Homo-oligomer: A and B are copies of this chain.
Amino acid sequence: MTDKKVWTLKSVAKELGVSNATVSNAFNRPDQLSKNKRIDILESCKKLGYTGPNKAAQSLRKGQSNIVALVLPDSLEYMVTDPVASDFVKGVSSVLEKSKVNLLLFSGISDNINTVADFVDGFICYGSPRNPELIEQLRVTSKKVVTADFDIDRNASVGIDNEKAAYEIAKLAIKSTNDEVAILGLRLLESDLTCRVYELPMTSNALCSISHQRLNGYRQALKDSNVNLRSDRVWNLPKSNHHFAVIAAKEALTSTPRPDVLLCMSDIIALAAVKEIHAMGLKVPEDIRVVGFDGIDEALRSTPSITTVHQNSEEKGIKAAELFINRATNSVVISYHIEHGKSC
Contact = CB atoms under 8 A, between A and B. Distances in A.
A65 interface: yes
A254 interface: no
A79 interface: yes
Interface residues of A, number: 55
A313 B91 CA distance: 25
A13 B250 CA distance: 58
B75 A80 contact: no
Given A54-B60, A56-B60, A93-B105, 16 more contacts: A1-B140, A1-B145, A2-B140, A3-B142, A6-B142, A55-B115, A55-B116, A55-B118, A56-B65, A60-B60, A66-B115, A75-B94, A76-B90, A80-B86, A80-B90, A104-B105
Given A89-B80, A154-B1, A119 B118 contact: no
Contacts of A116: 55, 67, 102
A93 B75 contact: yes
Copies in the complex: 2
Nearest to A93: B76
A52 B111 CA distance: 14
- By secondary structure, the A interface counts as mixed
A139 B89 CA distance: 29
A59 B119 contact: yes
A106 interface: yes
A49 interface: yes
A152 to B, nearest CB: 9
Contact of A1 (B77, B94, B142): B142
